[in-house]
Amino acid sequence: MARRHGVLSDDAEVARSQILTAADAAIQRFGVAKTTIDDVAKETGVSRPTIYRYFRDRDTLMTAMIEARSRRLFEQTREYVADRKTFAEQIVDGLLYLVDKGRRDPAIHLIVTPDQVSSTTALIGSSSLAAQLTYEMWAPLVVAARERGEIRDGLTDKEICNWITVVELMLADRMVSGSPDSPENRRLLTNLLLPGIVSVQSGV
Give pLDDT tens digits for 135-144.
999 999 999 9
The domain locations on the chain are: 7-55, 66-202
> Which residues does 163 contact at the CB level (< 8 Å), separation at least 6?
193, 196, 197
pLDDT at position 56 is 93
- What's the mean pLDDT when you consider all of the chain? 85
Give yes or no on whether 7-55 and 66-202 have one common fold: no
Is the pLDDT score of 126 beyond 80?
no
The CATH architecture that domain 7-55 belongs to is Orthogonal Bundle (1.10)
Q: For domain 66-202, is the CATH number 1.10.357? A: yes
Q: Does the pLDDT value for residue 123 go beyond 50?
A: no
pLDDT in tens, 21-44: 999 999 888 888 889 999 999 999
Entry pTM: 0.80
Supply the pLDDT for residue 59.
87
pLDDT at 203: 53
Average pLDDT of the segment spanning 173-186: 82
